[in-house]
Amino acid sequence: MTSDLSPDALPPASSGHIRLTSHSGGLDALPIRWGAPTPAERGPVVGTTSRRSHRNVIGTHSGSYSVYRALAVAAGALSREHRADLTDTAPTDVVGPHPQWSEPDRIVSLDPWGAVTSDVFADRLAAGHDIRPTIAITKAHVILPEIADAIAQGRLRPDGRFLLDSGAALVTKAAVEPVWYLPGVAQRFGCTEAALRRVLFEETGGMYPELVTRSDLEVFLPPIGGQTVYIFGSATDLVNPEVELTARVHDECNGSDVFGSDICTCRPYLTHAIEECILCAQRGGVGLVAYSRKEGRALGEVTKFLVYNARKRQVGGDTAEQYFARTECVAGVQDMRFQELMPDVLHWLGIRKIHRLVSMSNMKYDAITGSGIEVGERVNIPDELIPADAQVEIDAKMAAGYFTPGQVPDAAELGKAKGRGLGT
């Protein structure tokens, strides 16, 4: 029964009729003017599911976790009317506002005001709009065995400020949910907004009809993973091109990052970057790791593991020569990370110059410099950190254009099997 609900409230889960989302919303929705210089002119991103007439976006908050929220509602564990109590949740550090926040097309995949919604939209919140942060900023200590090892070997020295005697590094970290301005995303990928909307609709199995029926809604909260930034040193120093910045943009690799799989260089490169970030902070600079949830080149782990098997079972064994081809056979493409949106988080932080980029990826380098950020030195992974089974990957990448200060492997080198076989 829905008679006791206000006209635009949703009925309780699994009862009442379904309201389609394909017609215009209520008059209560606040407009979004993407890229406007002040939050008042820009307007809040409202992805609430509890008050339909207030919604001014397609999709909802929390990225892929929105599906778990639906499960919680379906299971009766969560009230759809729950409003977040945001007492004491304010950011620990101030980020922005920076000029990049309102420079045309500079940021199209996150909401630069997403960390300070409670502050800048306080009046709208008080008026009853369910405005949720899409960015949260906090402090942490990070403790990694590789950093303890670097201390033991004398490469790092605890200073009580950036690195403690216990081996803990002090960081400021920010979690960022995706908020896509569809006209800007389409422009980045060189397609029309209409084509982008249609393909997003069709390739999600028709999950968001508003993509094709509501051209007035220009902002989409996609059901995908977000990103996390870790700052070693002061966040305010990131904006000053005179302060040395060491940065790595890292794409998630659960198998290596968390579980220590030796088929790739992900964790060793990540921990090397963290070591470089700590050193940079200690010599008066600042360090940054931006970590994106793009597991397995954004192909996902199932595809990734299928590719591993195909690589190791192919005639001739696991070679760098066949490295990209095996991925393409399974996935249809070599890589789906498409770094076009990646620099947005750097612009949110106000970065103008990266003095030391801890990455060999030409795709990341091109995306960062193409977005207007100057890059000084590029820092490769030291040879001694490359696991034996990962030599295939690193050779293939260098041959394909990844940065290396050394020799680019030739065809003969690429044809030599280097990867371990299955079951050994």
CA dihedral 189, 192, 58, 174 (to 10 degrees): 20
Per CB under 5 A, does 298 bind Zn ion?
no
Q: Give the span between the Cα atoms of 137 and 358, in whole angstroms.
A: 23
Q: Which stretch binds Zn ion (CB under 5 A): 166-174, 184-192, 248-256, 301-309?
A: 248-256
Termini Cα distance of the chain = 62
Categorise residue 177: left if φ over 0, alpha if ψ from -120 to 50, beta otherwise: beta
Minimal distance, residue 395 CB to Zn ion, in Å? 15
**Closer of 110 and 253 to Zn ion (Cβ):** 253
**Closer of 48 and 256 to Zn ion (Cβ):** 256
**Closer of 29 and 264 to Zn ion (Cβ):** 264
Per CB under 5 A, does 264 bind Zn ion?
yes
- Total residues at the site for Zn ion (CB under 5 A)? 4
| Cis ω before 268 (30° cut-off from 0) | no
Question: Please, what is the angle between helix 391-399 and helix 323-331, to 10°?
Answer: 90
Q: Return the closest-CA partner of residue 269 out of 241, 285, 247, 301.
A: 247
- Residue from 46, 156, 266, 299 binding Zn ion (CB under 5 A): 266
Minimal distance, residue 198 CB to Zn ion, in Å? 33
Per CB under 5 A, does 253 bind Zn ion?
yes
**Closer of 109 and 361 to Zn ion (Cβ):** 361
**Closer of 297 and 347 to Zn ion (Cβ):** 297
Minimal distance, residue 250 CB to Zn ion, in Å? 10
Per DSSP, 52 falls in state G
Q: Which stretch binds Zn ion (CB under 5 A): 107-115, 167-175, 250-258, 338-346?
A: 250-258
Q: Which stretch binds Zn ion (CB under 5 A): 17-25, 85-93, 264-272, 373-381?
A: 264-272
Per CB under 5 A, does 238 bind Zn ion?
no
Q: Return the closest-CA partner of residue 177 out of 110, 92, 130.
A: 110
Beta strands in 179-243 (DSSP E): 180-181, 219-221, 227-232
Q: Which stretch binds Zn ion (CB under 5 A): 80-88, 96-104, 170-178, 251-259?
A: 251-259
- Residue from 48, 228, 256, 282 binding Zn ion (CB under 5 A): 256
| Dihedral sign computed on CA atoms, order 76, 79, 85, 90 | positive
Per CB under 5 A, does 394 bind Zn ion?
no
Minimal distance, residue 305 CB to Zn ion, in Å? 12
Q: Which residues are 357's β-sheet partners?
A: 247, 378
Minimal distance, residue 107 CB to Zn ion, in Å? 28
Per CB under 5 A, does 273 bind Zn ion?
no
> At a CB cut-off of 8 Å and minimum separation 6, what does 292 contact?
225, 227, 249, 250, 251, 252, 337, 342
In Å, what is the CA distance from 11 to each residue of 3, 14, 40, 60, 357? 9, 8, 32, 17, 51
Give the residue numbers marked as catalytic: 335, 337
Minimal distance, residue 265 CB to Zn ion, in Å? 7
Q: Which residues bind Zn ion (CB under 5 A)?
A: 253, 256, 264, 266
